[in-house]
Amino acid sequence: MNRKPFLLPNYFKWIGPAILVLTVATIIIANVAFDFNFVKIIWLKLIVKILIALSFMLFILAKEKVEDEFIMQCRLRAMAGIFILNFFCSIFSELTKTYCPTFFTPIFGSLFGVGVFQAMMYITTFYSLKKGYAQ
Amino acid sequence: MQNNLKEYRDAAELTQEQLADKVGVSRQSIISIEKGQYIPTTVLALKLAKALKLKVEDLFVLEKGD
């Protein structure tokens, strides 16, 4: 019998994005309505980053409605793609930090930025494979 | 590998959803197999053949390059 990887129940597909939406909404409302900037307070900024990362991970690790071998293969291929992308991200990160510190550094200059970018790329790749847009 | 899943599924008058339910996979899996985008494992191939009352070799045929 095949070993199945650890995955969260399907309802986390909703909990993850809900956390992301609530976090972003809170930042926007606090900024617009109360003129409160999260970025200025280090521990709040950290919490926001953790919540954003957590929301992506919950979405990625949640099971599909029907978790079969095809889905597992899509998952595996998307993971493999992101593993390769990680090498290019690392090189790009070093290059931007050195030669173009103001433009790409907010995204590729930090592990958090790279992590979120990779999570988004994973989600895009996985659903492209699942829906048959990519082979 | 060539597969005749769509032809035999149509002959059995089953929708993709019905066949997917019979073998316990998602409809997307059946679509991908029919399009030739995904080659199923032996277990799933056997399940599909059983659901359509066929032999695996009726459903899946090796091509020259395989």
Residues A118 and A75 in one domain: yes
Quick check: A70 and B38 CB within 8 A?
A: yes
Q: Which domain holds residue B17?
A: 2-54
Is the ipTM above a cut-off of 0.90? no
Whether B66 maps to a domain, the answer reads no
Residue A1 lies in a domain: no
3-class state of residue A5 by DSSP: coil
Q: Does A70 touch chain B (CB under 8 A)?
A: yes
| Range of the structural domain that residue A55 is part of | 9-63
For residue B9, being part of any structural domain is answered with yes
- Residue B62, in any domain of the structure: no
For B17-32, the pLDDT digits (tens) are 999 999 999 999 999 9
Mutate to test the interface with B, among A68, A128, A129 (most CBs of B within 10 A): A68
Which tokens is A99 given?
A: 């030669």
What distance in Å separates the CA atoms of residue A36 and residue B52, rounded to the nearest whole number?
63
Residue pair A74/A131 in contact (Cβ under 8 Å)? The answer is no
Choosing among B17, B26, B47, which should be mutated to test the A contact, i.e. which has the most A CBs within 10 A? B26
Contact B26 A135 (CB under 8 A): no
d(CA A72, CA B63): 26
* Domain-terminating residue out of A32, A63, A94: A63
Chain A residues touching B31 at Cβ < 8 A = 132
Instruction: List, for residues A14-69, the tens digit of each pLDDT value.
Output: 999 999 999 999 888 888 888 777 777 888 888 888 999 999 999 999 999 888 89
For residues A59 and A69, state if they share a domain.
no
Q: Same structural domain for residues A39 and A88?
A: no
Q: Is A101 inside a domain boundary? A: yes
Q: In a 10 Å sphere around its CB, with 0-12 CB exposed, 13-18 middle and 19+ buried, how is residue B39 labelled?
A: middle
- Does some domain include residue A47? yes
| DSSP 3-state of A4 | coil
